[in-house]
Amino acid sequence: MSPSDAFERCLAALYEAALDDTRWPAAAALIEEAVGTGGSALSVGEGFDGDARITFSRYLERGQSREDLAREYASVYHLHDEALPRLRLLPHGQPVHVPDLYTENELKTSLVYNEAFRRWRSHEGLYVRFDGPDGSRIVWTVANPVGGDGWQTARLRLFDRLLPHVHRSVLIRQALAAADALGSGLTGLLDNDRIGVVQLDRGGRVLAANGPALEILRRGDGLTDRDGALRAAAPRDDGRLQALLGRALPDLWGAAPEGGSMTVERPLRQAQGRLSGRPPLSLHVSPVGDAESDFGGRRVAALVLVVDPARRPRIDPVRVAASLGLTRSEARAAALLAEGRSVLEIADMTGWQAGYVRRLLKRIYRKQGVSGQVSLVPRVLALEALPRD
């Protein structure tokens, strides 16, 4: 295959992969063959020094996943890699020979270079750093050249030609993933003014909030968004909130995200010359989306519903039953869930066992063809906006 033909085939594969992440392994395999390397890795990271972290990583060898290598690097070698501070400062889109990121002494002593990279046959590979959105970094790595002849000029030239297209494909994938995560259900929920809604990215930063939530955040009424992060005003509550968010936000190689609920105390309010207490806010946190297909893009990763008892919506279960084809019990549970009640609150209000409430909700999700609370609540709330008979 001529270099021109190889370039055209790689280009077509890259843009197919940008529109469908399942095609990335095939595109990577084609590029690896064309440039003469045994494997490649695509990673996205953010932050510096002690705050630096990997938000996406995919290691491949001729189209086959090597998640084992990605996990091993993250858990064993990442914190000890002497090259990373230099890699983060590389000019955008400029290839660098892997050994050039280590000092002469490090080339002899580095655990990462001598143990991991030699075993993975990537110690003579190439690194390229690209600028990503919101200050993130996209890093594309290719392993050692195959054949024993080193990096040939023609193949390096092809590699250079492909670089801007690799970068653009990743940016497209990130943008599409972000747009998909902000689909009609999530976006529509922001328009609802009867329950507070806060959308968080994978790092726990606030991406968007609707009117009721913004009002609470501005007043510091139990919650704040200092420095762009959602926090509880009371330190005791904030520790619990950060733990809850930590479980709901994606961890690239950790446990699957899970939701949860809690309450946060609100400051006393001056009323008629006296300080008076108010009912706490109820928070319901749910994970959103698939972290494996977003290519490290900044997307909605968790949804926080903020329920103020003073303005809690009242939803008609009879209407829910008629509109969604639910039984009376299912409709009552769905209505209470959309009002911002937790499973335990629903059980307490109805006299049902918590296990029965969970089974009811799972049955509702199956009937409605939705994955959970995040998808069901907007559907129920939308009924209240429809004209009544």
DSSP-derived 3-state class of residue 82:
coil
Q: Same domain, yes or no, for 57 and 204?
A: no
pLDDT at residue 1 in the model: 66
Report the interhelical angle of 328-338 vs 373-383 (nearest 10°): 100
pLDDT at residue 83 in the model: 93
Q: Same domain, yes or no, for 80 and 10?
A: yes
- Mean per-residue pLDDT, 33-56: 84
Pairing mode, strands 281-287 and 223-224: unpaired
* Rounded Cα distance, 58 and 23, in Å: 13
Quick check: 273 pLDDT over 80? no
Q: Same domain, yes or no, for 359 and 278?
A: no
DSSP-derived 3-state class of residue 24:
helix
* Rounded Cα distance, 98 and 91, in Å: 15
- The CA-based angle 66-70-75, given to 5 degrees, is 145
Domain boundary among 288, 312, 336: 312
pLDDT at residue 384 in the model: 59
Q: Same domain, yes or no, for 160 and 271?
A: no
* 331 CA to centre of own chain: 31
Domain boundary among 277, 312, 347: 312
CA distances from 333 to 110, 195, 299, 366 (A): 58, 17, 30, 14
Q: Same domain, yes or no, for 122 and 140?
A: yes
Q: Same domain, yes or no, for 207 and 169?
A: no
Per-residue model confidence as pLDDT tens digits over 159-175: 999 998 898 888 877 76
How many folded domains does the chain comprise?
3
pLDDT at residue 184 in the model: 43
pLDDT at residue 315 in the model: 83
Q: CA dihedral defined by 21, 63, 56, 253, rounded to 10 degrees?
A: 120
**DSSP-derived secondary structure for 304-354:** EEEE-GGG-----HHHHHHHHT--HHHHHHHHHHHTT--HHHHHHHHT--H
- Mean per-residue pLDDT, 367-371: 79
State the pLDDT confidence band at 258, using cuts at 50, 70 and 90.
Answer: confident
State the pLDDT confidence band at 204, using cuts at 50, 70 and 90.
Answer: confident
- Mean per-residue pLDDT, 7-26: 84
- The CA-based angle 363-342-234, given to 5 degrees, is 155
DSSP state of 230: -
Answer yes or no: are the C-beta atoms of 306 and 313 closer than 8 Å: no
Per-residue model confidence as pLDDT tens digits over 111-129: 999 999 999 999 999 999 9
pLDDT at residue 16 in the model: 80
DSSP state of 76: I
Q: Same domain, yes or no, for 158 and 280?
A: no
- Mean per-residue pLDDT, 248-253: 76
CATH of the domain at 284: 3.30.450.20
Query: Whole domain around residue 48: which residue ranges?
Result: 3-179
Instruction: Identify which of 297, 1, 21 has the alpha carbon closest to the alpha carbon of residue 133.
Output: 297
Q: Same domain, yes or no, for 188 and 286?
A: yes
Domain boundary among 137, 163, 179: 179
CA distances from 136 to 54, 81, 249, 253, 317 (A): 10, 19, 18, 19, 46
Least confident span in 134-143, 275-284, 319-328: 275-284
Q: Same domain, yes or no, for 26 and 167?
A: yes
For all residues of the chain together, what is the average pLDDT? 84
pLDDT at residue 214 in the model: 93
- Mean per-residue pLDDT, 266-283: 70
DSSP state of 360: H
Q: Same domain, yes or no, for 191 and 260?
A: yes
**DSSP-derived secondary structure for 262-278:** EEE----EEETTEEE--
Q: Same domain, yes or no, for 344 and 270?
A: no
CATH of the domain at 87: 3.30.450.80
DSSP state of 205: B
* Rounded Cα distance, 306 and 342, in Å: 12
Q: Same domain, yes or no, for 175 and 197?
A: no
- Mean per-residue pLDDT, 177-194: 59
* Rounded Cα distance, 301 and 178, in Å: 10
Cβ-based neighbours of 187, under 8 Å, separated by 6 or more: none
